């Protein structure tokens, strides 16, 4: 019944932490589909894309179902959530984009909002954590702020845990990591990806 909890929580507080969204074997299977070579993450969009390690230090690769059945299964699960959010919350979500993120030791992502300036197509953010051996002190926690820019909570990036929140309402940051940190970030969109 976690899907019902997600819908209730998004409707009332704008965010939800879904522990055990995937199990360890599912997480491991997705990891086998990820290529060794990732790209330094960039900030901005289209003509203004740029790398800036003072703001974010992760490496990413966009996920596609063709990468393998585990990735396709994950994307199918997210599609069923998109449909349910539309059915119960009338959100008008039309697509989902997602990428794998790897933060090397010492990397971080400064506080930001998940929409490009002047655009509102990212409606709901999802982050699935893939860190099987994460321990307190390893860093890389997610800090979520309220619209008044006050810290709401700090979340440990435990394997199988997913956080879902309204993209435009919650500034957030990834604290510096002391270990390799992996996740899948995704966004439900109000426009179809061309």
Please say if the pLDDT value at position 139 is more than 90.
Answer: yes
Res 48 pLDDT > 60:
no
Percent of the chain exceeding pLDDT 70 equals 90
**Residue range 156-194, pLDDT digits in tens:** 999 999 999 999 899 999 999 999 999 999 999 998 876
- Quick one: average pLDDT of 90-97? 93
Q: How many CA atoms lie within 13 A of 92 on its CB side?
A: 6
Q: Is the pLDDT of residue 50 over 50?
A: no
- Distance of alpha carbon 22 from alpha carbon 45, whole angstroms: 31
d(CA 67, CA 51): 25
What residues contact residue 74 under an 8 Å CB cut-off, 6+ apart?
A: 22, 26, 30, 63, 128, 184
The pLDDT of residue 74 is 98
CATH superfamily of domain region 3-36+55-189:
q2cbj1_9rhob like domain (2.60.120.620)
Listing from the earlier edge strand, what are the strands of the sheet with 109-112? 109-112, 172-174, 142-145, 151-155
Mean pLDDT of 90-112: 93
pLDDT digits (tens, 9 = 90+) for 28-42: 999 999 998 898 775
Instruction: Compare 24 and 121 and report the one with higher pLDDT.
Output: 24
Task: Provide CB contacts within 8 A for 15, sequence distance 6+.
Answer: 9, 144, 152, 163, 164, 165, 166, 170
Residues 6+ apart with CB under 8 A from 33: 67, 68, 70, 71
Question: Which carries the bigger pLDDT value, residue 169 or residue 73?
Answer: 73
For 13-28, b/e burial (b = at least 16 CB within 10 A) is: ebbbbbeebbeeebbe
Q: Model's pTM, two decimal places?
A: 0.91
Query: Who contacts 8 (Cβ-Cβ below 8 Å, separation ≥6)?
Result: none
pLDDT of res. 115: 74
pLDDT (0 to 100) of residue 121: 82
Domain boundaries defined on the chain: 3-36+55-189
Rounded Cα distance between 113 and 129, Å, is 19
pLDDT at 172 (0 to 100) = 95
């Amino acid at each position: 019944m976690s899907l019902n909890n997600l819908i209730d929580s998004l409707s009332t507080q704008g965010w939800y932490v879904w522990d055990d969204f995937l199990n360890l074997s599912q997480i491991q299977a997705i990891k086998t589909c990820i290529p060794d070579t990732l790209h330094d993450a960039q900030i901005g969009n289209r003509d203004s894309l740029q790398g800036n390690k003072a703001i974010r230090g992760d490496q990413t690769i966009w996920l596609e179902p063709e990468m393998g059945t585990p990735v396709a299964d994950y994307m199918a699960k997210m599609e069923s959530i998109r449909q349910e959010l539309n059915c119960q919350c009338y959100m008008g979500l039309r697509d989902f984009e997602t990428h794998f993120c790897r933060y090397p030791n010492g990397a971080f992502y400064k506080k930001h909002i998940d929409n490009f300036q002047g655009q509102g197509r990212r409606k709901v953010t999802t982050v699935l954590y893939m860190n099987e051996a994460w321990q307190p002190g390893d860093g890389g926690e997610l800090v979520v702020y309220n619209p008044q820019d006050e810290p709401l909570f700090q979340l440990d990036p435990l394997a199988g845990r997913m956080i879902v929140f309204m993209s435009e309402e919650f500034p957030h940051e990834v604290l510096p990591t002391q270990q390799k940190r992996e996740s899948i970030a995704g966004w439900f969109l109000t426009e179809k990806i061309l």
